Amino acid sequence: MTNSNSEQERLKKLRDSQLADRDPGVKQRHYNRSYSVKSRRMNRKLTLKGILSDIPHVYRSAFSGLVLGLLVLWFLPQYWISKFAMPAAVFCIIVFTGVGAMIGNALDLRDNIRDLS
């Protein structure tokens, strides 16, 4: 008798959870919340920090890597007198830009996951 009751209780909980998953109100509340956040963001004053925060991380991080690579290109041939200094500096530009883009992509993915939950 208790086995039958526990099975019925389990099926009732499963049915309730499935109905809750299909509830259109959940999606509507999520949309309304994200819309209100975006509309509040639109009504803010225009500042340099706000402009930079709207640029995706993938571009900002890749640009930061490019700047770091250009600094290496500037300083490495001055301190390392060799015919390999310039190719090494160009290689550093490529690597730093690529690593910056990968880190920026990971940060954008993190933000997208945070927005979904």
Comparing CA positions, the residue from 56, 78, 58 lying closest to residue 66 is 58
pTM of the model: 0.59
Q: Which residues of 14-47 are buried (b: 16+ CB within 10 A; e: fewer)?
A: eeeeeeeeeeeeeeeeeeeeeeeeeeeeeeeeee
Q: How far apart are CA 81 and CA 54, in angstroms?
A: 42
**57-84 pLDDT, tens per residue?**
899 999 999 999 999 999 988 888 888 9
The more confidently predicted of residues 32 and 104 is 104
**30-60 pLDDT, tens per residue?**
677 777 777 776 777 778 887 788 888 899 9
